Amino acid sequence: MKNSRNILDETPFQTAGPFLHIGCMPNKIKINNLYKNDLGEVPFKNKNEIEMITVEGSVFDGNGIALDDVMLETWQCDENGQFFEDNGFARFIPDKSTKKFKLLTVKPGQVENLDGKNQSPHICLSISSRGLNMTLNTRIYFEGDDLINDPILSMIKNDKVNIDSLVAKKIKKNVYVFDVFLQGDKETVFFDM
């Protein structure tokens, strides 16, 4: 049957597989003489480190094992709620020995929703790896912010969803922990957006 609006189908996803580093961050696996830098090494250029926050955590599978072959990508606005074309994107993997990832970035500001309401500060996070037939999307909100009035969080709060999984816990000044659970009781909320 012909689609009445005659739009094309989106190309389907396939898993990124275990060797995604070759294509996306070759310098990380010591393919060094190809690209000068891996893309997304730092989300913002020319920022003062003192004003930055650290978001760290692990990605756990259904056995509770922290994974080291996942790639995380983040996209966010700056501290004033402004989106830029050439800033705000980061790409990283967990450390091979500690299995922890670490994102050093600016705390995002508020951005306006369609209805003019402010969305609470958040970072968009995508996760790709072996075993994931599609890239997963979630959001990192921050403990200590006003999360009650966020239009997205208030929209989904009645769905018995694990809203806690979307909130990075503050462990000290400018340091947050955000663990991702792919399965289990603490399974992270993933979005279709």
Partner 1 sequence: MNVKSLVKRNYKKQPEIDFPDYKSSIFRAPKNKKISIPSNLEIFGPIFNKKTIGELDNDLTLNFSKNKNSPLGHKIIVHGTVSDQFSNPIKGALIEIWQANAAGKYLHQDDKNPAPIDPNFSGCGRSLTSSDGSYEFLTIQPGPYPYPNRGIEWRPMHIHFSIFGESFGQRLITQMYFEGDPLINICPMVNSIADEKAKKSLVGKLDTSRSNIQNILAYKFDIVLRGVKQTFFENRQEGL
Parallel/antiparallel/unpaired status of strands 118-119 and 111-112: antiparallel
Phi-psi domain of 28 (left: phi exceeds 0; alpha: psi -120 through 50; beta: other): alpha
CB nearer partner 1, residue 24 or residue 52: 24
Distance between CA atoms of 106 and 7, rounded to whole angstroms? 39
CB nearer partner 1, residue 68 or residue 143: 68
10 binds partner 1 (CB under 8 A): yes
Given a contact cutoff of 8 angstroms between Cβ atoms, the answer to whether 17 and 70 are in contact is no
Given a contact cutoff of 8 angstroms between Cβ atoms, the answer to whether 66 and 99 are in contact is yes
- Residues in 63-92 at the binding interface with partner 1, rule: CB under 8 A: 63, 65, 67, 69, 73, 75, 83, 85-86, 88-89
Q: What kind and span of H or E run contains 156?
A: helix 151-156
62 binds partner 1 (CB under 8 A): yes
Shortest CB 152 distance to partner 1, Å: 5
Shortest CB 87 distance to partner 1, Å: 8
- Residues in 125-164 at the binding interface with partner 1, rule: CB under 8 A: 126, 128-137, 152, 155-156, 159, 161
